Amino acid sequence: MSDPLPRPPITLLVFSASLRAGSLNTRLAELAAVTVEANGGEVDRGSMREFDVPSFDQDVLDRDGFPAGAVEFRAQLERCDGFVIAAPEYNASMPGLLKNAVDWVSRYRPQPFNEKYGLLLSASPSMVGGNRGLWALRVPFEHLGARIYPDMFSLAQAHTAFTDEGRIADPRLQERFDTNIVNFMNAVEASKHYPCAKRAWVEYLGERPEPATDRVE
């Protein structure tokens, strides 16, 4: 069989929403990054440290403008065709620091998450792998018009799930992870390079370009 055609270029911003040095989500984000690269994509590795911002305050925005973390987050989003986030679950929801950073960036116009493709991952020592946090995270992203990929990946018992090389020890789970990443990459590629597929996605969501409902607010 001949080699598959090279993938047309796509760039994904990949980051973990944990600041912790030994973060399980940072390990999962790195596995996502190397998997994207192994499948012909380019990766911008972001970090929550760069995107760190003070608590959102409209008065600060009006007086001082955007804080450095929001400037950086927006700039990295603008450079990419899609994003992959590995986010911890805190108290059955998303981490406050990530929501706070999203709130800041959502005040830019044009609003950078609109029509951006996103894939959500999580890792947790628990049996459900932080999956409730991802469902919570979908809500603000979808509100902002991000195309959040339907399949999400949550790594349960993550404190024992990785090999020393940073892969997932269970081969079936590792295969499922790879498939999830590649399927997401295919969706991003289609959106960027084959506009007819993008139109099909928008119509699938029941949305048509319409100034009155464009997600600018």
Ligand X SMILES: Cc1cc2nc3c(=O)[nH]c(=O)nc-3n(C[C@H](O)[C@H](O)[C@H](O)COP(=O)(O)O)c2cc1C
- For ligand X, the binding residue among 84, 120, 130, 155 (CB under 6 A) is 130
To the nearest whole angstrom, how small is the minimum distance from the Cβ of residue 192 to ligand X? 30
Q: Is 124 in the site for ligand X (CB under 6 A)?
A: yes
Neighbours of 90 (CB within 10 A): 17
Q: How far is the CB of 88 from ligand X (least distance, A)?
A: 3
Cis upstream peptide for 110 (omega within 30°)? yes
Stretch that binds ligand X, among 44-52, 72-80, 119-127, 171-179 (CB under 6 A): 119-127
Confirm or reject binding of residue 120 to ligand X (CB under 6 A): no
The two tokens of residue 141 are 């992203």
97 or 102: CB nearest ligand X: 97
In whole angstroms, the minimum distance from the beta carbon of 56 to ligand X comes to 20
100 binds ligand X (CB under 6 A): no
Q: CA 57, CA 188: separation in Å to the nearest integer?
A: 34
Phi-psi region of 130 (alpha: psi -120 to 50; beta: other; left: phi over 0): left
What residue type is assigned to position 203 of the chain?
E
Neighbours of 172 (CB within 10 A): 8
Indicate whether 89 belongs to the interface with ligand X (CB under 6 A): yes
For 4, 24, 38, 185, the CA distances from 1, given in Å and listed in that order, are: 9, 39, 20, 23
Q: Interacting stretch for ligand X, rule CB under 6 A, among 16-24, 41-49, 68-76, 164-172?
A: 16-24
- 126 lies in the site for ligand X, by CB under 6 A: yes
179 is a site residue for ligand X (CB under 6 A)? no
By the rule CB under 6 A, 56 interacts with ligand X: no
18 near ligand X (CB under 6 A): yes
Nearest Cα neighbor of 13 from 99, 88, 72, 90 is 72
Beta-carbon contacts of 212 under 8 Å, excluding residues fewer than 6 positions away, are none
End-to-end CA distance of the chain: 50
**Closest to ligand X by CB, 92 or 169:** 92
Binding site for ligand X (CB under 6 A): 18, 20, 23-25, 88-92, 124-126, 130
